[in-house]
Amino acid sequence: MNNTLLFALLLFGMAGWCHATTYYFMHTAGNWSSTSQWSTVSDKSAARVSAAATPGANDTTIFDDYSGSPVTIDTSAPSGSCTILDCVSNGNYAGTFQFNSSKYLYVYSAVTLSGTTTFTGPGYFSPYGNNSLVSNGANISCNFAGRGSGATTYTFGDNWTTTASVAQDSGTAVWNGFTVMSGGSLTGTTAISGSTTLGMNGAGTLSTASPSVAITNPMTILSGANVTIGATLAIGSGGIFSAASGATITGTGSVYSTGNCTFNTGTVSIPNLNCTVSCAVTHLSALSIASTFQDVTSALTFVGNYPVTTTSFYMASTNSNRKIYFPPSQDFVVTTNLRMGSTNGTMSMESSTPSTQMNLKYLGTAINSHVYECKFVDVNATGSSCPINDYNPGTITNSPGIVPISLPMPWGKIIDGTHLE
**What is the C-alpha separation between 109 and 93, in angstroms, rounded?**
19
CA distance 352 to 385: 10
pLDDT tens digit sequence for 245-288: 999 999 999 999 999 999 999 999 999 999 888 889 999 999 99
For the cut 90, the answer to whether the pLDDT of residue 68 exceeds it is yes
pLDDT, average across residues 78-101: 97
Q: Are 231 and 209 in contact (CB under 8 A)?
A: no
Which of the four pLDDT bands, split at 50, 70 and 90, describes residue 155?
Answer: very high
Inter-residue contact 399 to 363 (CB < 8 Å): yes
20 neighbors 53 (Cβ within 8 angstroms): no
Q: Going by DSSP bridges, is the β-strand pair 371-379/385-387 parallel, antiparallel, or unpaired?
A: antiparallel
Gap between the Cα atoms of 289 and 315, Å rounded:
15
Biggest CA–CA distance in the chain, Å, is 101
How many CB atoms are closer than 10 A to CB 167?
A: 22
Bond preceding residue 218 cis, omega within 30 of 0: no
3-state DSSP assignment of residue 31: strand
pLDDT digit string (tens) for 203-246?
A: 999 999 999 999 999 999 999 999 999 999 999 999 999 999 99
- Other C-beta atoms closer than 10 Å to the C-beta of 355 total 14
Q: Which DSSP letter does residue 147 get? A: B
pLDDT for the residue numbered 214: 96
> In terms of residues, how long is the chain?
421
Reply yes or no on whether the pLDDT at 339 is more than 80.
Answer: no
Give the C-alpha separation, 227 to 401, whole Å: 37
**Cis omega before residue 70 (within 30°)?**
yes
**pTM for the complete prediction?**
0.84
Q: What does the pLDDT look like over 158-186, one tens digit per residue?
A: 999 999 999 999 999 999 999 999 999 99
